[in-house]
């Protein structure tokens, strides 16, 4: 009997988790850190040129920091996955019988009766034993597999795009109104980002938008306070 491959009509979002997390984190950090830096420097009564220099420096440094941080972090995850797979491959070669029992016991815990669990374990082992153990014992799947380069590039790119937004506002806004306008537009940018990420990930929109705008307002408020205190003549 020939079984045709079935194509699911429903759209799943789990394959977006890796790049979506890195992209949202990068864009959010780019917008918020650069806007907070601009507001803090502006609150210290700096000239427009100094504000722009600080913002551009924050963009470059932040993008590189995000890329390096994501690469190191996700590389560590990838190293752990490779180590687990190497160990599992060795165990399969040295003790395949107990590994088969272990796989069957996993399926029993998930609700299958013992006879069906053994059949499933045997067939999956015959097809690809390592893949079966990686997925069902270790929790390593193609959707959640660590991809350091992808995460690093996504974070750096989205950080740069996010950081560029408040810099554009600085260029087109009179300095006397710079702080309130950067503050307000940044909250709009953050709310838009929260909405976009919620739509892409299938999450509640209002909760995502409120979450990012709250922390954004808090961060810029504290930075403006610091800038005011530091910029006040003693």
User: Could you tell me the residue ranges of all domains in the chain?
Assistant: 17-226
Burial class (CB in 10 A: 0-12, 13-18, 19+), 197: buried
pLDDT per residue as tens digits for the range 90-136: 888 888 788 888 888 888 888 888 888 888 888 888 887 888 888 87
Are the CB atoms for 154 and 22 separated by under 8 Å?
yes
- Quote the tokens at residue 11: 């759209």
Alpha carbon distance 197, 107 (integer Å): 35
pLDDT per residue as tens digits for the range 52-101: 999 999 999 999 998 898 888 888 877 888 888 888 788 888 887 888 88
Cα 74 → chain centroid: 10
Tell whether pTM > 0.85: no
Backbone angles phi, psi at 110, to 5 degrees: -90, 0
Cα 130 → chain centroid: 28
Strand runs (DSSP E) across the chain, as ranges? none
pLDDT given at position 1: 41
Please work out, in degrees rounded to the nearest 5, the angle formed at the alpha carbon of residue 190 by the alpha carbons of 184 and 196.
Answer: 140
pLDDT given at position 82: 81
- Quote the tokens at residue 229: 């205190």
């Amino acid at each position: 009997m020939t079984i045709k491959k079935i194509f699911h009509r429903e759209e799943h979002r789990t394959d977006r988790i890796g790049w979506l997390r890195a992209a949202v984190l990068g864009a959010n950090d780019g917008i918020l850190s650069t806007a907070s830096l601009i507001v803090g420097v502006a609150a210290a009564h700096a000239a427009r040129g100094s504000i722009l220099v600080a913002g551009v420096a924050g963009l470059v440094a932040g993008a590189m920091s995000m890329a390096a941080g994501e690469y190191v972090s996700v590389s560590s995850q990838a190293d752990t996955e490779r180590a687990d797979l190497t160990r599992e491959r060795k165990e399969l070669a040295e003790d395949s019988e107990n590994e088969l029992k272990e796989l069957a016991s996993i399926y029993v815990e998930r609700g299958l009766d013992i006879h069906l669990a053994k059949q499933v374990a045997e067939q999956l082992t015959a097809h690809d034993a390592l893949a079966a153990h990686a997925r069902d014992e270790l929790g390593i799947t193609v959707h959640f597999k660590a991809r350091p380069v992808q995460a690093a590039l996504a974070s750096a790119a989205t950080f740069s795009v996010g950081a560029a937004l408040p810099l554009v506002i600085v260029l087109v806004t009179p300095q006397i109104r710079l702080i309130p306008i950067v503050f307000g537009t940044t909250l709009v940018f953050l709310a838009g980002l929260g909405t976009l990420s919620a739509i892409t990930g299938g999450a509640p929109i209002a909760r995502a938008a409120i979450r990012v705008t709250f922390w954004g307002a808090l961060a810029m408020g504290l930075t403006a306070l610091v800038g005011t205190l530091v910029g006040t003549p003693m």
